[in-house]
Structure 1
Amino acid sequence: MAIIKKVKSKLSEFAYNNIPRNTSFKPRGYFNDFQSYFDAFPESDLEVKEVYPDLETKLRLSREFYAQFSEFTKYDKAKDVGEEQLELSCTTDYKVAIIPMGRVMTNNMSMVAVISEENYLLADVSLQYHMDRPAFGEDNIVFKRKYFPAPTFINGTVFNMLGGGGTVANIGHWFLDAFARIHLLKKAGLLEEVDYFLVPNFDYSYHRESFALLGIPGEKIISANEIQHFQAERLISSTHPRGVRSYLVPHWLIHFYKEAFIPKFDEEKQFPARVYISRRDSKLRGISNEEELISFLESKGFVTYEMSKLTLIDKFNLIHQADEIVAMSGAGLIGMLTGKIGAKFLELFPRGFVHSLYYNIAVFQEMDYDYLICESAHKSENMKAAQLEDIKVDIGEVKAIVEKWTSEKEY
């Protein structure tokens, strides 16, 4: 089945790039900001609601930690703030646009083109992923396309939640880059006006559970997994939750999940204070000596969990209740969004894939963070290769950190 999907995807991509069809749907041009659009179309009925104007997200970290980062994760500006510290920052102008007769075209991977009634791409609420740099309107690959299937028309108001390929089948990207857009929608006062939610995928249980937690029924969901060109009577689209090619997680995103999910926790359900999150349920980034690691951790009172075996709400509740967490870096750690003040977290990295994501989430919640960089067979040169790296954990180093936690508690 997976092979058939890949073949279909390759054939579709070939057609899009080589066989002219319905070329009138190709955007005439682009606007990198809404002011330029309104200058060109002053009579337009398109509306823009400011949500967090020019919001700056900042993250301080040690030079030592930053020096370990993989080059392909260094998205954000870094500046000196002392001999031992750097500050990463990103400024994002968060907006929500209401676009009459707006269109969305996507490959559900690297490109989401949001197109106005006048047939211009609106870069502020579109997406184009570029491996090496920020991408803007002129970079959107919709302009390279020759084949345009006729759009599926949707009566009513549709909220676009598409966030690129990671959001299709990765729970971390789903909550960071797709589902978080609902907060921007609510903040703009538009949630109750939405008839349908356009999502990258609706195949996994966490997709369905996340909407159910907000009281949004499945009948309101439209998946872009099959149909990739839409036009809505009224299209609503937002700025990307993490801005243009930023690794940083803004404060509002963390607050959104804490406010949305913590009240839904089952107060009767008790999880252990010491938790180890295993990746035995994943084909990517395993630990070659995990049995030895688990044996040590269990001797110290840690209980092992595989996140895929928990319901969505329990993934978050588990982390929320934990006082001490040991885990390898990965999407299963998205439950960190509901961590608690003072909890201790040890993140295990492959040497080839070190980044700020969960450090960012942890320190914004006043958690105590430690990291350990583990050896792997080779250092990856890109993110795709890094996602495949198995590691070997130095048990002695883990022991030292866990014993440090114990001594701090006793003190």
Structure 2
Amino acid sequence: MMQRFAIFLSIILITAASFYFFQDKRKLSLPLKTTTLEEYKEKYPKNVMYIDFNTSDPKEFIVILNNGYVFEDGRVITEGSEILEDVAVLKYGGAIKDNPLLKKKGFPEPKKVGSTLAVIASNGEENYYHWVFHVLPRIKLLQESKIPFDKIYIYNIKYRYQKESIRLLGIDEDKIYIGKENQFIQAEKLLVPSIAVKPAIGKLFPKWVISFLNEKFLINDKNKQFPEKVFVSRSKAFSRRIINEDELFKILEPKGYKKVFLEDLHVREQAVIFHHAKEIVAAHGSGLSNLVFCKPGTKIVEINPFDGHRGPYKMLAGQMELSYEDVDTTTNGLTPHQVEEDDIFVDIEKVKEVL
């Protein structure tokens, strides 16, 4: 009798557990919908916290998602099966309708995390530009909010500059939760800071972001000599190497330019080199994120293979009051994706004209 009761009880427990997960899956109804911050705030007025840096910049915010979901590179979903447009992770500022989450027909079973996760992950965070301007400012917002959290969610952290910058911002490694490909997580509570920099949709580089980065990464090293003229080499990069770099440097070296390889330098070394430089020549690449550390009036020559349609560094140079010149290269009818991956050939005479 007792054995039959035990078997019956086991069946009930298994059924209850299955029912719980089934019910949880049904909460996330597909296809997903989109909602705005204002719409979400109307439903949950206590779940949106604004952060004002007392500047002319737009106010930033942190959204609290109870029982929210996070997928791979920081794409978050509310308990009500909605994507918050204001914190949507989109490549190159694409339209919300192109968000790949809207087209998904199913998700893996969510991994339950019974704690508070702060989501700072962003599309392309393995790229220095995206890391510096999309990820790191979100740490500042979390610190300003003073909302307690258990761990910070990052999707990809494998490069030295990522680990260095996280450490310099006071985040211990045991505070980091690293996501995985195709992993779907549901947390008891998600903290999602706003994305402060979105040049593609006209949200430029806020003054508070510029101040924050300079305060944390720019050091006053008076004991070292730094070159006044810098040429940033991409010969160690995986793409957009300058095919005729040797020829280009032959005209730069006699003018006093020193060649640097940013991938070999620590984060603070990159910052201080750009800060002390008076002239910088570089091909388009994420290393130009370091323009944020330059002094007003610094001359910048960007060798740009994108026919002017990719201009975050021109925008940044404008905000930093730098003297910016753009040298286009021949794309030979390549698509933007091919240009992204292809090596480039620079017209030496064009460079001479702007020096």
Normalised to the residue count of structure 2, the TM-score between the two structures is 0.82
Over 3 Å counting, the alpha-carbon distance change for 1:394 and 1:148 in structure 2 is closer
Question: C-alpha separation between the residues in 2 aligned to 1:25 and 1:141?
Answer: 20
Q: What is the deviation of 1:21?
A: 12
Counterpart contact for 2:199–2:205, Cα < 8 Å: no
Alignment partner, residue 170 of structure 1 = 127
- Per the alignment, do residues 350 and 126 of structure 1 end up closer, same or farther by CA in structure 2, a change over 3 Å counting? closer
**Contact in 2 for aligned 1:350/1:373 (Cα 8 Å):** yes
CA distance in structure 2 between the partners assigned to 1:350 and 1:148 by the alignment: 38
Q: Quick one: which of 196, 201, 204 aligns to 1:246?
A: 201
Structure 2 counterpart of 1:389, one-letter code = D
Shift in Å at residue 52 of structure 1? Answer: 5.4
User: What's the CA shift for 1:209?
Assistant: 0.6
Match of 2:251 in 1: 296
Structure 1's 258 and 379: CA in aligned 2 closer, same or farther, altered over 3 A? Answer: farther
Distance in 2 between residues matched to 1:157 and 1:22, nearest whole Å? 19
CA shift at 1:305, angstroms?
Answer: 0.8
Distance, in Å, in 2 between the alignment partners of 1:364 and 1:45 is 34
Task: Tell me: CA distance 1:362–1:178, structure 2 relative to 1, closer, same or farther (3 Å).
Answer: same
Calculate the aligned-residue CA RMSD, in Å: 3.0
Q: Shift in Å at residue 224 of structure 1?
A: 2.0
The structural deviation recorded for 1:122 is: 3.0
Between the aligned partners of 2:199 and 2:263, the Cα distance in structure 1 is: 30
Q: CA deviation at 1:210?
A: 0.8
Aligned counterpart, 1:307: 262
- Per the alignment, do residues 288 and 198 of structure 1 end up closer, same or farther by CA in structure 2, a change over 3 Å counting? same
Residue pairs, 1:48-63, within 5 angstroms: 48-51=48-51
AA aligned to 2:117 is V
Q: For the structure 1 residues 114 and 343, does the alpha-carbon distance in structure 2 shift closer, same or farther, using more than 3 Å as the test?
A: same
- Structure 1 residue runs without a partner (length 5+): 1-19, 58-91, 403-411
Displacement of 1:289: 1.5
CA apart distance, 1:212: 0.9
Amino acid at match of 1:328: A
1:268, CA displacement in angstroms?
2.8
- 1:11-410 equivalence runs, <5 A: 23-24=25-26, 26-27=28-29, 30-39=33-42, 41=43, 44=44, 47-51=47-51, 94-106=60-72, 108=73, 112-116=75-79, 118-129=80-91, 133-135=94-96, 140-164=99-123, 166-167=124-125, 169-190=126-147, 193-226=148-181, 228-243=183-198, 245-246=200-201, 248-252=203-207, 253-262=209-218, 264=219, 266-350=221-305, 352=307, 354-376=309-331, 378-382=332-336, 384-402=337-355
Over 3 Å counting, the alpha-carbon distance change for 1:247 and 1:171 in structure 2 is: farther
Point out 4+ residue stretches in structure 1 off by more than 6 angstroms: none
Could you tell me whether the CA contact under 8 Å between 1:27 and 1:115 is conserved in 2?
no
Query: 5+ unaligned residues in a row in structure 2: which ranges?
Result: 1-21
Taking the aligned partners of 2:334 and 2:344, their CA distance within structure 1 comes to 12
Aligned to 1:62: none
- Structure 1, residues 110-138: CA drift from partner, whole Å, max 9, x if none? x813323x44433333334488x5215xx
Measure how far apart 1:205 and its partner are. 0.9
> Structure 1 residues 352 and 341, CA, compared in 2 at 3 Å: closer, same or farther?
closer
Which of the two has greater helix per residue? 2
CA contact (8 A) 1:113 1:142 kept: no
- Answer yes or no: is the 8 Å Cα contact 2:67–2:78 preserved in 1: no
SS at match of 1:318: helix
- Aligned-partner residue type, residue 75 of structure 2: V
Matches of 2:231 and 2:144, distance apart in 1: 36
Contact 2:68–2:76 (8 Å) recurs in 1: no
Which structure has the greater CA radius of gyration? Answer: 2
Q: In structure 1, the residue corresponding to 2:334 is in which secondary structure? A: coil
Taking structure 1 as reference, are residues 275 and 38 closer, same or farther at Cα in structure 2, changes over 3 Å only?
closer
Name the residue aligned to 1:4. none
Kindly provide the CA deviation profile for residues 308-362 of structure 1, in whole angstroms up to 9, marking residues without a partner as x. Answer: 1111211111111111111111112121121112211111112546422111111
Whether the 8 Å contact between 2:108 and 2:182 is mirrored in structure 1 is no
Shift of 1:388: 2.2
Classify 1:335/1:34 alpha carbon distance in 2 versus 1 (closer, same or farther; 3 Å): closer
Give the conservation status (yes or no) of the 8 Å contact 1:113–1:140. no
**C-alpha distance in structure 2 between counterparts of 1:322 and 1:38, whole Å:** 46
1-structure distance, mates of 2:309, 2:88: 28
Measured in 2, the distance between the counterparts of 1:311 and 1:296 equals: 28
How many residue pairs align between the two structures? 331
Cα drift, residue 251 of structure 1: 2.3
Change (3 A) 1:124 1:400: closer
Partner of 1:79: none
TM norm structure 1 = 0.72
Are the counterparts in 2 of residues 114 and 125 from structure 1 also a CA contact under 8 Å?
Answer: no
Residue 265 of structure 1 deviates from its aligned partner by 5.2
Q: Give the AA of the match of 1:246.
A: I
Change (3 A) 1:147 1:244: farther
Change (3 A) 1:391 1:272: same
Moved more, 148-157 or 173-182: 148-157
